[in-house]
Amino acid sequence: MEMTRREMLVKSGKFILLTSAAAAAWDYVLAGKAEAAPNYDMTKHWWAMVIDPEKCIGCGNCVRACETENDVPEGYFRTWIERYHVDDWDMEHPQVDSPNGGHDGFPEKYHDGGKTFFVPKMCNHCADSPCTQVCPVGATFITPDGVVLIDPKYCLGCRYCIQACPYGCRFFNPKTNTADKCTLCYHRITQGLTTACCEACPTQARVLADLKNPKDPIHAFLRTHSVQVLKPQMATHAKVFYKNLDGSVR
């Protein structure tokens, strides 16, 4: 049997391609079923948060509650409060401070009667989040119910996501040596509780919302109020909606 070089190459090419195809098919056959979470259907929820800065009193309850609930190391924040001070017309240059993330409240600093207000911040659980797009190992991801999470077992600690987040919501956890951030209290909301920060907020400045639940009051709220997300120009499709947000807020 004679075989040209071309035929030989074609044959070996087919052999290699078919082997990998068979292996991929075999993978598919072997893949089993994931453990279904009892009483919780991920496909029926799409979590979001509504924040009303006009209700925030800067007490720091949310920051402390988050720290307690999620064992956040001291000096790091999954949620924090910023104090904005806007001097008359200069909206481009607001004075912003956040002493210890607002954990211990805000000592009085301004006495001039200018525009001063609090803005609670946290992970925006973006539908198109830059952090999940840059993760090289699939350690950060968005769940089918719309929560951006980190798999600490897969995270290498490369910190790429920390740089990618336009909102500065991520930090490097020195205890676990992985990236860390708000989980939207995934362990709570999947069993019917609200987040720790919402539970502890004394003024309902923040409220957990489920955009897929037609009975959730968020639908009426979004229809009847002016809302804004942070940095809409980043096209992240953030899901933390701020009511009547001042233009100086970044």
Binding track, positions 64-103, relative to another protein; x by CB under 8 A: -x--xxx------------xxx------------------
Burial of 236 (0-12, 13-18, 19+ CB in 10 A): buried
Q: Which is nearer to another protein, 35 or 92 (CB)?
A: 35
Region of 87-95, 152-160, 209-217, 227-235 interacting with another protein (CB under 8 A) = 152-160
Q: Which is nearer to another protein, 41 or 233 (CB)?
A: 41
Residue span binding another protein (CB under 8 A) among the ranges 27-35, 164-172, 208-216, 237-245:
27-35
Q: Do residues 105 and 58 lie in contact, with contact meaning Cβ atoms separated by under 8 Å?
A: yes
- The mark string for 154-183 relative to another protein (x by CB under 8 A, - otherwise) is x----------------------------x
Angle at 15 between CA 11 and CA 20, to 5 degrees: 155
The least CB distance from residue 43 to another protein, in Å, is 10
Q: Considering only residues 10, 14, 25, 37, which one is a binding residue for another protein as defined by CB under 8 A?
A: 37
At residue 171, the 3 state secondary structure works out as strand
Residue 108: exposure state from Cβ atoms within 10 A (0-12, 13-18, ≥19): exposed
Q: How does DSSP classify residue 74?
A: T
Non-local CB neighbours of 165 within 8 Å, separated by 6+ positions: 129, 130, 131, 181
Residue 200, CA distances (Å) to 3, 61, 73, 113 in order: 78, 6, 19, 29
- Asked if 3 touches another protein (CB under 8 A), the answer is yes
Is position 246 an interface residue for another protein (rule: CB under 8 A)? no
- Binding-site string for another protein from residue 216 to residue 235, where x marks contact by CB under 8 A and - marks none: --------------------
**Alpha-carbon distance 168 to 134, whole Å?**
15
Backbone angles phi, psi at 33, to 5 degrees: -105, 140
39-68 residues in contact with another protein (CB under 8 A) are 42, 54-61, 65, 68
Q: Where is 4: in which H helix or E strand?
A: none
Binding site for another protein (CB under 8 A): 1-3, 8, 12, 15-16, 19-20, 23, 27, 30-32, 34-35, 37, 42, 54-61, 65, 68-70, 83-85, 105-106, 108, 110-111, 113, 116-118, 138-144, 149, 151-154, 183, 186-188, 190-191, 193-194, 196, 199-204
